[in-house]
Structure 1
Amino acid sequence: TSILIIERKIPRSIEGSPAQGRAMEEPVRFDLMTNGTDCVLVDSRDGSRYLLAATVCTAAEGAN
């Protein structure tokens, strides 16, 4: 598998410093997996699966 992590951009004030008083979310982690020749992203938070249409996945050399 490969890992994709999506992190929200930190809101900044006009001066460029991080904005105060905002709840920051944890980054979201996805695992990229193959199912035959299909590419699937699996959300680590709840296990939901997203088929990536019009893509082709192959295992990297040395991958288990």
Structure 2
Amino acid sequence: MLVIRLVFMLLMVAAVACVAAYMFTGEVAWRRRGLLIVKWTVLAGLAGAVVLLLERLTLAL
């Protein structure tokens, strides 16, 4: 779970950095990269939620 949290936080930092680079330079490539990273951040968050759910289910059984 620690690894998933770390990946989630690093992806969030990278997305903010890409958006900041887009705002600073105005290049569309940075916005595209930022949105791609946000997509992967959402997927990492969902994976973390699934891991938590599976942990709770195994404790309940």
Bucket of the pairwise TM-score, normalised by the shorter protein: under 0.3
More helix by share: 2
Higher strand share: 1
Return the structure number with greater relative CO, CA threshold 8 A, min gap 6. Answer: 2
Could you state the TM-score of these two structures normalised by the residue count of structure 2? 0.25
